Structure 1
Amino acid sequence: MTGRKTEAAKSEDLAQLNTRDRILAVARSIVDEKGEAAATMKAVAKGAGVSRQAVYLHFSDRSQLLSALSDYIDEKLGIGDWMEQIEALDSGIAMLRMLAVTRCQRSVGLVTLVRSVESGRFRNQAASSAWFRRHWWNIAWVERVIVRQLHTEGLLHPSWIMRDAATFLVTLFALRNWDDLTQVGGWSTDHYIETLSAVAVAALTSPNTLPKDDAAGSDKTGR
């Protein structure tokens, strides 16, 4: 009886949403319960009580649906404006720290989706398209906002190419690193934020290659 009431309550909640949000809410539920591969257009349409044509009206393909789902979850976590908050800062160092803070906040809500998409991105076309679209969009944004601010302040070491610096930051703050460090390694949120912020600053304000003597020494040690 309780289960029936719960399902009825869920249906009633969904009915209050517009079609697009209803589709995204159902997609999120499916991903959380069964993984990204189960969130087919057919399954999402059925769960949302709409036709597949209605789903395609809002999302041209499944990769676009998965990409939109990330933004939807941000909104539900109450951090949908995290990019605007970072852009409003006038310090590159502050931007890097805020990036670490929001990475933690977003990872909590996005962990199931990102784990699923990343595990399937080399064997699933929709997951692959969603991952690459998001990945390169993030790199372009980080370059335009954070790296450019560091460059403007004279903090970015001249040996860094701006696109390389942005790619480094996106990779450093990727959810898989947060996952390994906090969920597996046991790092606290504060330790993650302070350590990765410091790593980012140290890396980008220093040469992006080892001095030749150090590189040679490292090679000899490896042998």
Structure 2
Amino acid sequence: MSKNSTLTRDRIIQAALQLLSSGAGSAVRLSDVAKKAGVSRQAIYLHFKSRADVLIAATKALDDKLDMDARLRASRTAKTGRARLEAFVAMWCAYLPQIYCVARPLLDMAPKDAEASAAWAQRMVDLREGCEAAVLALDNDGDLSPHLDPETATDLLWTILSVNTWENLVLIREWSQEDYEERMVDTARRLLTSDT
């Protein structure tokens, strides 16, 4: 790919991210992206197969910008299972409002677009793996609730950390983001650890 081609592709991705971040969400059209990027709609199709492809590229660009590896460091280096659980839940809860601008349009497209569906499914696999690592750390410390096996505990944690749960509590029920984060960490601790 030539330097000009790479620059154009990057401009398209940044334009899509700006439009998505502005709150346009699922209403963002390729013609809007083209106009914002200062390219023709035809130019978009030279770099991307579809609207879903643009959205997936924007999602990956946002992930890179938000540096997931750095965000996960506290969880991955925690000394105890409880500390790992709390760090992971806190990180994910703080991350959700930052990725919501791309998560919701991807979720909206998933039922009708195989590529968007696959991209969303992979994100959910990644989230579940993070939940599983936190649960296994608890289990290894002997701190997992005796009423739960690791697989069930992982499923429960994965479910309560969903985008839909964040939407229901923060957007619909109007919890503050701070309350949401504190209550989710507390809920995960109470649900999954052995002393409750």
- Normalised to the residue count of structure 2, the TM-score between the two structures is 0.72
Matched, 1:84 2:73: yes
Asked if structure 2 preserves the Cα contact closer than 8 Å seen for 1:64 and 1:130, the reply is: no
State how far apart, in whole Å, the 1-side matches of 2:62 and 2:92 are. Answer: 13
Give 2:165's aligned residue: 177
With over 3 angstroms needed to count, the CA separation of the structure-2 counterparts of 1:174 and 1:185, relative to structure 1, is same
Matched, 1:195 2:178: no
Amino acid at match of 2:77: A
Q: Which runs of 5+ in 2 are unaligned?
A: none
Partner of residue 83, structure 2: 94
RMSD: 3.3
State how far apart, in whole Å, the 1-side matches of 2:79 and 2:57 are. 29
Choose 1 or 2 for highest CA Rg: 1
Shift of 1:170: 2.0
| Pair 64,203 (structure 1): closer, same or farther in 2 beyond 3 Å | farther
| Identity among equivalent pairs (%) | 25
Q: Which residue of 1 aligns with 2:25?
A: 35
For CA contacts below 8 A with separation 6 or more, give which structure has more relative contact order: 2
Residues 83, 123 of structure 1: alpha-carbon distance in 2 compared, 3 angstrom cutoff: same
User: Contact 1:45/1:52 (CA < 8 Å) preserved in 2?
Assistant: no
Give the whole-Å Cα distance in 1 for the aligned partners of 2:28 and 2:147. Answer: 45
Contact 1:74–1:106, Cα closer than 8 Å, also in 2: no
What is the deviation of 1:36? 4.1
Give, as a single letter, the amino acid of the residue that structure 1 aligns with 2:80. S
| Alignment-derived partner of residue 94 in structure 2 | 105
What is the deviation of 1:51? 5.6
Answering whether residue 14 of structure 2 is matched by residue 25 of structure 1, we say yes
- For residue 127 of structure 1, what is the aligned residue in structure 2? 116
Equivalent in 119, 127, 131 of residue 142 of structure 1? 131
The 8 Å contact of residues 63 and 127 in structure 1, kept in 2 or not, is answered as yes
Report which stretch shifted further, 62-71 or 87-96.
62-71
Aligned residues: 185
Give secondary structure in 2 for the equivalent of 1:118: helix
Q: Distance in 1 between matches of 2:76 and 2:53?
A: 25
Q: Distance in 2 between matches of 1:178 and 1:202?
A: 19
Q: 1:63-82 maps to which residues of 2 (within 5 A)?
A: 66-77=55-66, 81-82=70-71
1:52 aligns with 45
Task: Compute the displacement of 1:193 (Å).
Answer: 2.2
Q: Residues 86 and 189 of structure 2 are in contact (CA less than 8 Å); yes or no, is this contact kept in structure 1? A: no
User: Structure 1 length as normaliser, TM-score?
Assistant: 0.65
Deviation at 1:149, TM superposition (A): 0.7
Structure 1 counterpart of 2:58, one-letter code:
L
Unaligned runs of 5+ in 1: 1-14, 207-223
CA distance change for structure 1 residues 62 and 169 in 2, over 3 Å: closer, same or farther? farther
Output one character per residue of 1:126-176: Cα deviation in whole Å (capped at 9) or x when no partner.
332221111112212321x21111111111235534333223212211222
